[in-house]
């Protein structure tokens, strides 16, 4: 519990390698995660070769975590391997559909989170790179992923330069619903986000972006509708190009 409740994202890493043996041990912990039908519809690409990692970092917009981490690990929804096993055993796979892709993506993300918890428990730092879905098609090409394999989560891994303070989270009673979903009133929602809005970092965020409210920074700047639609289309194209009928 201490490892989980002390999690922070690390965005700057020491220029020190992570031993391959340690990474292997962490990956063993990772693949013990729950998996749909025990089919393990995922593959994991460990990238540490400097030139290739630099190319991969470019596809993550050269953000600090991707550039300074000695290792980038890409977790992929992978139905290729399982489908090939079916074919060579005279079984006809029918997994080129949305539900199968979704289950494979969940499998991969569960493995990623198991891996990250194990890594942090070993003293390493991690940072999820949300940009993996933005440039999925380019990552497919760079990592030479076959059909039915799609990157869904990327993690920068290394030894932290420092440990930042914990970031804020909403109060537990805001995100937990007992038995059935409770629809909150506007007043309750405003109260739930009040602490986040009053943080010095949030106030600076609003001021730097010339907005009136913190919510406007998210809707107008960070995750605006135009960008969301653009990257949604790109990711869907990448998924379809990899053989999924979605």
Strand ranges in 79-230 using DSSP code E only, listed in sequence order: 125-128, 149-158
Q: For 76, list phi and psi in degrees, rounded to 5.
A: -115, 140
Rounded to whole angstroms, the Cα distance separating 58 from 23 reads: 23
The closest of 118, 105, 120 to 9, measured between CA atoms, is: 120
Strands of the sheet containing 71-78, edge to edge, are 42-47, 71-78, 149-158, 125-128
pLDDT tops 90 at residue 2 = no
**Neighbour count for residue 173 (Cβ, 10 Å):** 11
> In 3-state terms, what secondary structure has residue 153?
strand
Q: What is the pLDDT of residues 134-189, one digit of tens each?
A: 999 999 999 999 999 999 999 999 999 999 999 999 999 999 999 999 999 999 99
pLDDT tops 90 at residue 10 = yes
Q: Which residue pairs from 234-239 have beta carbons closer than 8 angstroms and sit at least 24 positions apart in sequence?
A: 234/134, 234/135, 234/136, 234/137, 235/133, 235/134, 235/136, 237/137, 238/136, 238/137, 238/140, 238/150, 239/101, 239/136, 239/150
Q: What is the pLDDT of residues 82-92, one digit of tens each?
A: 999 999 999 99
> In 3-state terms, what secondary structure has residue 219?
helix
- List, in order of start, the domains of the chain with CATH numbers: 2-163 (3.40.109.10)
The closest of 46, 80, 56 to 142, measured between CA atoms, is: 56
pLDDT tops 90 at residue 47 = yes
Q: What is the pLDDT of residues 61-111, one digit of tens each?
A: 999 999 999 999 999 999 999 999 999 999 999 999 999 999 999 999 999
Rounded to whole angstroms, the Cα distance separating 117 from 157 reads: 12
- pTM confidence score: 0.95
């Amino acid at each position: 519990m201490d490892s989980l409740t002390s999690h922070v994202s690390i965005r700057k890493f020491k220029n020190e390698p992570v031993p391959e043996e340690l990474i292997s041990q962490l990956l063993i912990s990772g693949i013990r995660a729950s998996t749909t039908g025990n089919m393990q519809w995922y593959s994991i690409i460990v990238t540490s070769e400097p030139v290739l990692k630099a190319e991969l970092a470019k596809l993550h917009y050269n953000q600090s975590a991707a550039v300074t981490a000695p290792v980038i690990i890409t977790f992929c929804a992978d139905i290729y391997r399982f489908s090939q096993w079916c074919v060579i055993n005279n079984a006809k796979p029918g997994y080129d559909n949305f539900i199968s892709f979704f289950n494979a993506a969940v499998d991969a993300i569960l493995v990623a989170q198991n891996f990250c918890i194990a890594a942090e428990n070993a003293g390493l730092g991690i940072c999820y790179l949300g940009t993996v879905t933005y440039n999925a098609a380019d990552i497919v090409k760079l990592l030479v992923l076959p059909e039915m394999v799609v990157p869904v989560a990327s993690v920068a891994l290394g030894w932290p330069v420092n440990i930042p303070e914990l970031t804020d989270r909403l109060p537990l009673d805001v995100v937990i619903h007992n038995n059935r979903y409770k629809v909150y009133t506007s007043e309750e929602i405003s109260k739930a986000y009040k602490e986040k809005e009053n943080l010095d970092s949030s106030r600076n965020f609003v001021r730097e972006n010339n907005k009136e409210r913190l919510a406007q920074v998210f809707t107008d700047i960070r995750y605006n509708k135009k960008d969301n639609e653009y990257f949604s289309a790109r990711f869907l194209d990448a998924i379809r190009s990899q053989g999924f009928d979605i």
